[in-house]
Amino acid sequence: MKAAGGLTAAVALGAAAAPTALAAPGLRVVQRDERDPRMWYYRFATDAIGWEPAVNVLLPDGYHGSGRRYPVLYLLHGGGHDQDFMTFDRLQIRRLTAGKPIIIVMPDGGHAGWYSNPVSSNTGPRNWETFHIGQLLPWIEQNFRTYAEYDGRAVAGFSMGGFGALKYAAKYFGHFASVSSHSGPASLRRDGGLVTHWANLSSAALDLGGGSIYGVPLWDEGRVTADNPCQRIESYRNKRVFLVAGTSPDPVNWFDTVNETQVLAGQREFRSLLHNAGIPHEFYEEPGGHFVREHLLVRDIDGAIARLRKA
């Protein structure tokens, strides 16, 4: 099945039959023992990414027989070798969304893709922004019963994915009515651009074979500005904004400490700018470090459903 930009979907179904819209000639089937009729698994062949990124689509209870349209939440994972399209499944997203009238889309974003098109890559194309916004989003709306409009979409994420959510919601203002960041950085220029340097370093090591997201040794300053939530404050007006940060990272774990300390400082800077601009936002500072807090993820999903168009 083709979509704009050379996107081809391959679906793995398990026991259930494919929705009619997906049963197209030439659709390549990838085997996976998925027996839950709510969860649909795909791999995409796309010219934006040099391998076949996966996507989980979690449907609401009764989707197959209801005939209704539903709002969509795009849920973005964090960075690291243990983070991928399965991250939120491992965090029990099926249980947490049982009975809730919303479609959850969980795409791959690379081990350190930063939800961006990098300045350079030595491992083939890694244009995650193009894949997510230019290809996956319209493909979802062509093949599932969604509301293809501003009030029909939310975006949220953890860590690197929290940054990605904030970035996508601002850079593509008309796409998402709700945005949420769970321990995601919100400032690219504070502390000498520590987060930007980390994006370059981590992407070079994990994804790009020495390439970089923003450029080394000199940044592409236009890209940094375009992606920096703290420099896009007006883009959050009239959106639901939900933020979570930890206040007491593990002092023995340097990675946890560095991550959440920078997250907390950046979110406080971001919140101050939102407050000064008169833009409402919901925020939580809780004990602990860099992880997804289940009760706040549930609160966030319920808040997104309340903000979006009803099924």
Question: Which residues are the active-site residues?
Answer: 159, 256, 290
Distance CA 22, CA 260 (A): 41
Alpha-helical runs (H) found in the chain: 63-66, 87-90, 93-96, 128-129, 137-143, 160-171, 190-206, 221-227, 254-276, 294-307
Query: Burial letters for 164-185: b for 16+ Cβ neighbours within 10 Å, e otherwise?
Result: bbbbbbbbbbebbbbbbbbbbb
Residue pair 263/290 in contact (Cβ under 8 Å)? The answer is yes
Question: Looking at the DSSP assignment, which residues form a beta bridge with residue 285?
Answer: 245
Q: Angle CA(294)–CA(101)–CA(78) in degrees, nearest 5? A: 40
**Burial class of residue 192, CB neighbours in 10 A (0-12, 13-18, 19+):** exposed
Question: What is the three-class DSSP state of 240?
Answer: strand
Residue pair 210/196 in contact (Cβ under 8 Å)? The answer is no
Asked whether the bond before 249 is cis by omega within 30 degrees of 0, the reply is no
Residue pair 301/92 in contact (Cβ under 8 Å)? The answer is no
